[in-house]
Homo-oligomer: A and B are copies of this chain.
């Protein structure tokens, strides 16, 4: 950071021209030198020099604590919601899928291989749906207005297929037939009639898929323990019997779309739920406040820096009739401040989202997670900056900075080979041993490591010889000496 000082030659270096301008310039130079020196100081030195209390530093430390606390609270309440959804999905799979083993195969839940199994699985769903109230352990209910259970089968239009003759006579356009069961009529005669209808005579050779969908409602009482209001959930479950491949194996997919709604009509006795929520809202407010002040302080710093830069550029032009090169201009913009500003903006937006979620106006947990998570990452990474003030750590950080472009360049080079290799591996090995290839991936990593090991010899060698100094800086290295003297 002290490098920029090099542009300012000592007084002895220039002693000609008219005295007035010269002395004016000298005064300007001295002032500028002072300001530059101060600008590139670290908080400790600033405090020693002008007794300036490091507000920004204190604020950052406060922010780390607050942001991390907020993140942990949000993460915990988020985890409750996610685990409730997941456990419900698992419970649904156990209730509605016949012979579900407890864990999914690949991306589908289970698979069947005989016609009998197909019919059994479909009727099992209907039956379990009928008895739901007496079976389920959860606080579930059919949807009120309720379209009930909807079974749709999609198939190619009538055709004939005689594989033994290699003869095929099919209409490629598909048709979709549906049948509905209302919860209230499921036990009655009407349902029986429907079950015996021709709809359930599946012609597997032209069947594409059977889709059973129904909607259930539930209440998550779990949040009461955390002294928050309970949420009302709507589960849109879809069970798909996928015969698209016509390979003799029907894959059964279970899909549960969960929708969080505010409970319309709730009466809760015996405890004070509301207060806790309010405390959290107040805390969120404080986080926003601290981030906002940090944002302002950092923006101010950057504005001041840009003004200083302008002064420096002008002075330089005036005195040496030369433009300051681009790299040296960039030196004035403190990357850490930019990081802090980005992080602050993200925290503020994230906190507002979080408050809206708490107030049950929004359910965009994902966006909020990403915003808060990323901002916390940035805040913690920002700590490294303060470590850089200690000399021994600084070496470490500068080295990491210096090695970055080489690492990227190497990655770029290896990436090319890797891409080619991946395409080649995918087509040659891939489709035949799909799973193994993905799991082990051993040839890929082998090559990758090989490159890393032996390529690294390369950039270790150049370590000393390669000039990492910006070109325009080297030209001016004589002035450098003048200034230091």
Contacts and interface: CB of A to CB of B under 8 A. Distances in A.
A304 interface: no
Q: Which 4 A-B pairs have the closest CB atoms?
A: A380-B420, A138-B248, A399-B458, A91-B248
A180 to B, nearest CB: 17
A83 B454 CA distance: 38
A377 B428 CA distance: 11
A457 B399 contact: yes
A75 B420 contact: no
Nearest to A405: B392
Interface string A125-149: 0000000001111111111101000
Nearest to A128: B114
Given A156-B221, A384-B416, A136 B168 contact: no
A137 B166 contact: no
Given A376-B420, A376-B427, A116 B139 contact: no
Interface stretch (A44-52, A189-197, A261-269): A261-269
Interface in A386-415: 387, 392-393, 395-400, 403-404, 407, 409-410, 412-413
Contacts of A217: 163-164, 166
Contacts of A270: 157, 171-173
Nearest to A379: B420
A interface SS class? helix
Residue among A217, A271, A410, A427 with most chain B CB within 10 A: A427
Interface string A463-478: 1001000000000000
8 contacts: A83-B434, A87-B247, A137-B248, A141-B162, A168-B265, A387-B416, A392-B409, A400-B455
A380 B416 contact: yes
Given A162-B141, A396-B458, A463-B457, A95 B268 contact: no
A462 B395 contact: yes
Interface stretch (A13-21, A305-313, A367-375): A367-375
Given A156-B221, A249-B90, A428-B370, A381 B420 contact: yes
B221 A427 contact: no
Q: So how many copies of this chain end up in the complex?
A: 4
Contact of A172 (B165, B269, B457, B466): B269
Contacts of A124: none
Interface residues of A, number: 138
Contacts of A222: 244-247
Interface stretch (A35-43, A224-232, A275-283): A224-232
A273 interface: yes
Contacts of A265: 165-168
A12 interface: no
A168 B266 contact: yes
A481 to B, nearest CB: 22
Given A267-B169, A424-B373, A431-B83, A399 B248 contact: no
A407 B393 CA distance: 11
A378 interface: yes
Contact of A263 (B91, B146, B166, B384): B166
A137 B243 contact: yes
